[in-house]
Each structure stands twice: as structure tokens, then as C-alpha cells.
Amino acid sequence: MSQERLKRYGVYQIYPISFCDSDGDGKGDIKGILSKLDYLASIGVKNLWISPLYASPMRDMGYDISDYYAINPLFGTMEDFDRLVQEARRRDIRIIMDLVVNHTSSDHPWFQEALRSPESKYREYYIFRHGEKGRRPNNWTSSFGGSAWEPVPGEEDNYYLHLYGKEQPDLNWDNEEVYQEVKKILGFWMEKGVYGFRCDVISEIYKSSFENGRKGKISTPVGMEHFVAQPGCHLILKRLRKEVIEPRGGVLIGELYGVDQPQAEAFLDRELDTLFGFEITDTKGLFRQQMRPSDFKDVLIRWQEGVSCNGNYLENHDQHRSVGKYVQRGRNEVSGAKMLLTLLCALKGVPFFYQGEELGLVDYDRLSPEESHDVVRSFLESLLRRFALPGFLRHRLARKFGRDDARGPMPFSGIDGYGFTLPGRKPWQKFYEISPERNVEREERDPSSVLQYFRKVLSLRQSDDVLSLGTIRFLPSDKEILSFLREYGGERRYALFNLSNRSRKAPVLPGSRRSLILSNIYPAEKNSTLLPYECRLYRIDA
Ligand code: GLC
């Protein structure tokens, strides 16, 4: 039932600091989200995932939690949160919390206590290891760069593990007490009416050995074979699901770093309802910003065929905006944005949308290192400085792997402050350099806008069993065209996507009697040419 709800309605993600600021401090907050619930309901949002709202020093923007039972004062109070859950329910919207339990913040009292006293039981909450003669315990590297081991202050040859920033020490999931703590945290929020959790880098929580890792691609951390998708991780998830999630009819969504399709599928066996992998984000090439249409097609098909309930996303707070990445900027970008949204709604699995994607927002034109807030970007800038790369190359690389581009304030209107914050106030991160048409208010009034199209295509998905629940079968086609059939209860839909920025010959369509349900091109082309980024959805009657 719960998985079906996700498949039918999809999930919309809010990055709270950039969604809506109610008090004018330049940072989004819970009251801001409350003020936009009617907007969210009006576009068809039913499952709302909110990036971390917990108390945090915000060194990794909330993915470093210092108190799992408190709301970050930056975002409001527990009363605000309770109201949010209730008000959302009134609109049939369920709240999904982010859950970050691979690591805590180094400010968390558990870690502080562990540092203060080696005898404390909290030492066992984390992963401390001795090195030898000034050498780290092993060669593992952190996803944010550099060694994954940080020296324990004041203790010779002792280190703690952090697969992310050094302010994010990894929890020790071999300790039953850690399991019990997390179980309690999940129960606490579910009792408040939270629907479920998006579990941050959940594929990495269990470390099965501390041997040296194999060195692989420069962009992937060393040591992954010892901590990605280990049997211990599956056991923990099965237990959590059975003991906390299932009795309350909730959902678990997993972010799975470093897994391939068979590994991902294993997480769907009484563990997660849906998941997302990372292959879809790989543009293949250090400097390549945009994905080749044929690579895009290839990775989509593999994850559709290999994973029974994939989470289909093209944007989130860690990625670049999809327009500019999967489709080219310029003349056809509005058709491109609509095509991508149609794709999300037509694929099998669970569609994920990220704030602003429904408007067709794009990356910043310019974002200097001084205007960046992301730890990954600042780490890369400082690392690359050592290689005497020319400044423009350094910035380009750091910007590509940095994560600021999707984190800009959401534009609700064209007035001063963009309806994100109060007029005259400065946002925490600069506004996008957008045209006056790209905001909620203007797009509401324009029948040909991305937003109006999004409403239509999402409502189609939500009302059509075939699109939300059906099987999928890909048909042979040109390498830049995606063509597939969805089928459910004897009914069939046919979907056709031109993934390229050029006109293409349309493949021969299946069925002798079919009717066009939706297309992103007005008036819909009926002939055998597909315009750049054109997509069509048909019902097949015979
Ligand atoms: C996930 C989050 C990302 C965070 C990282 C470490 O990938 O989406 O924002 O930095 O985990 O918690």
C-alpha cells in the first residue's frame, strides 16, 4: 500500500533553507513551508520529503545532526513542525523526514563525550582505530576528499572514521546500542505523524572489515568494497523495517551510494520501498557538464530493467539542475524541461521532483568560490590550488563537483525578494540570474509554461494506473530515441521521447488504433518527425 502511494503520486523534495523564508532572515523556514502548502497541494504533491530540519551546526547543511530530537532554531520550533505535519495531512500530504545515521555531527553530545573520555560507552558509538607510527589505520578516503581518518585530538596514533567531512564521524553499527538509539529516533518522529524516512547514504552504514581498499576511479572513494551494501547493512534495514516502519504503515527510501542494479534490487527485499542510485548523475568525463543522449538512454534502461521499484530523479540538492545536464540550454530548453518531467512521470518506479524543477530552473550563470557555501566545492578549490591549475580550470572543475547550483532560493514571484524572502532582504545564497518569466506567479499565468505542463503530466500519472503501476518494455529505436510500452490490467500506453536537440525520424508506432494523450509540443506533431526534445504519450486501443 505504502509503496503504491509513492509510485502513484511521486515525491517532491524541499531543501528547507532555500524554499521559503517567512521572517526575512534570508533563510527558508518551516513557517515558509506552511505558507506554501496550498501551492504544493495545487501542483499535486502528496509525499513531501524535506531535507534535514534537525539541530545541526550546518557544516554540511544539516547532514550533520547534533540532536535528532530537536528542530534547528534556524528553521523554527517543534510546534511549527507539529503544525506542518497536521496542516499537510489536512491536504493529504505526507511528510517524509531525512534520516542521517551513517554519521552524526562531531558536535553531537555522543561524540563529544566519546572524545572527552576514552572509557565512556560512547567510544563504542563511533569507529576509533589505532594507526601505526604516524600512519592512518587504512587507506580509505572520504567522499569529500582526503583520508577518511582524522586524528583524535590529544591521543597519539588514534583516529576516528569519517566517510564524509571530518565533522561527520561515522557511527558504529556493530554496536546494538546504536541500533536501539536509531530505532528510538524513528519511533519518536513516526509518533508525531511522519510518514517515513529518506535514509541518507544508507548503503554505507555497515563496515564489515577495515582492510585496505582497492584503488579505483579517482572520483570514487577508496575502501568501498568493505562498506558498501554489506550483508550487515541488509540485516539492519530488515530489522528497522519490521520493528518500526511496518507496524505504522510507513515508508523507507534509500540513497544508495556506490551500488549497481543487482545490489540495489537486494535492498527492495523487505527493506526499502524505493531507492536511488548514482549512475544517472555520471556525465562520463571530468569536464563534461552535459550527458550524451545515448548515455542517458543507456543508464535509464539499465535501471528500469534491473530494479523493480527505482526512484527516478534527475535533480536534487546534490546535483546540477537537469536542464543543462540532460538537455541543452538555449532555444529548446523549455521543451527539454517538459520532456524530462514527462519522462519522470512515464517511467516505472517512483518519480522524484526537486523544488524548482517544476519551473524549469537552471544552474547559476556564474557562481564564484566566494559565493559558494558547499563544503565539497571549498575542499576541491583548496585541493586543486596545490596542482597549479589555471584559475578558470580550477573553478570549472570545483563547480562541476560542487553542489551549490540546485541550492539557490526558490522564486515564487518576480518582485524584490522573489517571494522567497521579504523585499529588501538578502538571501543566504544568491538568487538565480533568472528571466522575469521563471517564477511561480508568472508561470501560473502562462498556459505554455513548464509549471502548467508539470501539473498536467503529474495529474495524468496520478490518475492512470498504467503509468503509475504498470510494467515497462523498451522497444528498439535509434540511440537517441527512447520508446517504451507500459501495461497494466490489459491496458497499454506507449511513450516516445526524442532525447536529442535535433529533429529525428519517429519510429514506427505500435498498435493500429492509438490516441495521443499528451505531448510537450503545441500543436502536437502527428507526423513522422520528432522535433528536438519532443515527447508523446499515447493510449493504445488495438
Ligand atoms: C548525502 C546527502 C548529501 C550529504 C551526504 C553526507 O549524499 O544528500 O547532501 O552531504 O549524504 O551526509
For the CA of 102, the closest atom of ligand 1 is: 12
- Report how many helices (DSSP H) and strands (DSSP E) the chain contains, helices first: 16, 20
pLDDT at position 455, please?
98
Active site includes 211? no
By mean pLDDT, which of 236-250, 290-304, 499-513 is the weakest?
A: 499-513
pLDDT at position 133, please?
86
262 in Cβ contact with 306 (< 8 Å) = yes
Alpha helices in 196-332 (DSSP H): 224-227, 231-240, 261-266, 293-306
What mean pLDDT is predicted for residues 104-125?
Answer: 98
- Pairing between β-strand 196-199 and β-strand 158-161 as defined by DSSP bridges: unpaired
Ligand 1 atom 2: residue of nearest CA: 200
Predicted confidence (pLDDT) per residue in 398-419, tens digit: 999 999 999 999 999 999 999 9
- Four-residue CA torsion sign, 291, 292, 295, 301: positive
Q: Which residues are 141's β-sheet partners? A: 147
- Pairing between β-strand 311-312 and β-strand 94-99 as defined by DSSP bridges: unpaired
pLDDT band, very low/low/confident/very high, at 525 (cuts 50, 70, 90): low
Active site includes 200? yes
CA–CA separation, 44 and 370 (whole Å): 37
Expressed in angstroms and rounded, the spacing between residue 102 Cα and the centre of ligand 1 is 10
Q: Which residues are 14's β-sheet partners? A: 50
Give the chain's length.
542
Side chain identity at 283, as an amino acid letter? T
CB atoms within 10 A of CB 192: 15
Predicted confidence (pLDDT) per residue in 271-287, tens digit: 999 999 999 999 998 88
Q: Please report how many Cα atoms fall inside a 13 Å half-sphere around the Cα of residue 161, on the Cβ side.
A: 28
For the CA of 165, the closest atom of ligand 1 is: 6
CA–CA separation, 497 and 532 (whole Å): 10
Rounded percentage of the chain residues whose pLDDT exceeds 70: 99
CA nearest 280: which of 246, 257, 251? 257
pLDDT band, very low/low/confident/very high, at 162 (cuts 50, 70, 90): very high
The phi, psi pair for 478, rounded to 5°, reads -50, 155
Expressed in angstroms and rounded, the spacing between residue 257 Cα and the centre of ligand 1 is 10
CA distances (Å), 288 to each of 324, 325, 388, in order? 11, 9, 21
For the CA of 60, the closest atom of ligand 1 is: 10
Indicate if the pLDDT at residue 510 is higher than 90.
no
Expressed in angstroms and rounded, the spacing between residue 55 Cα and the centre of ligand 1 is 16
Record the cell numbers describing residue 312, joined without a space: 527516478
Mutate to test the pocket of ligand 1, among 51, 59, 60, 317 (most ligand atoms within 8 A of CB): 60
Given the C-alpha cell 532572515, which residue does it identify? 25
CA–CA separation, 453 and 416 (whole Å): 26
pLDDT band, very low/low/confident/very high, at 57 (cuts 50, 70, 90): very high
Expressed in angstroms and rounded, the spacing between residue 13 Cα and the centre of ligand 1 is 14
Ligand 1 atom 4: residue of nearest CA: 63
Mutate to test the pocket of ligand 1, among 13, 56, 164 (most ligand atoms within 8 A of CB): 164
The catalytically annotated residue of 80, 98, 255, 357 is 255
CA nearest 417: which of 23, 12, 34, 13? 23
Indicate if the pLDDT at residue 1 is higher than 80.
no
CA–CA separation, 292 and 322 (whole Å): 13
pLDDT band, very low/low/confident/very high, at 435 (cuts 50, 70, 90): confident
For the CA of 257, the closest atom of ligand 1 is: 7
For the CA of 375, the closest atom of ligand 1 is: 10
Q: Which residues are 97's β-sheet partners? A: 50, 197
By mean pLDDT, which of 18-32, 121-135, 233-247, 375-389 is the weakest?
A: 375-389
Expressed in angstroms and rounded, the spacing between residue 299 Cα and the centre of ligand 1 is 22
Mutate to test the pocket of ligand 1, among 59, 63, 108 (most ligand atoms within 8 A of CB): 63
Indicate if the pLDDT at residue 522 is higher than 90.
no
Mutate to test the pocket of ligand 1, among 200, 281, 377 (most ligand atoms within 8 A of CB): 200
Radius of gyration in angstroms for the set of CA atoms belonging to the chain, rounded to a whole number? 23
Strands (E), 132-270: 149-151, 158-161, 196-199, 251-255
Indicate if the pLDDT at residue 210 is higher than 70.
yes
CA–CA separation, 235 and 241 (whole Å): 10
- Angle ∠(219,364,323) on CA atoms, nearest 5: 75
Q: What is the mean pLDDT of the chain?
A: 96
CA–CA separation, 117 and 110 (whole Å): 11
Which residues surround ligand 1 with Cβ inside 6 Å?
60, 63, 100, 164, 200-201, 255, 317-318
pLDDT at position 526, please?
66
More confident residue, 313 or 437: 313
Expressed in angstroms and rounded, the spacing between residue 440 Cα and the centre of ligand 1 is 28
The catalytically annotated residue of 200, 295, 357, 480 is 200
Side chain identity at 472, as an amino acid letter? I
Expressed in angstroms and rounded, the spacing between residue 200 Cα and the centre of ligand 1 is 6
Ligand 1 atom 7: residue of nearest CA: 201
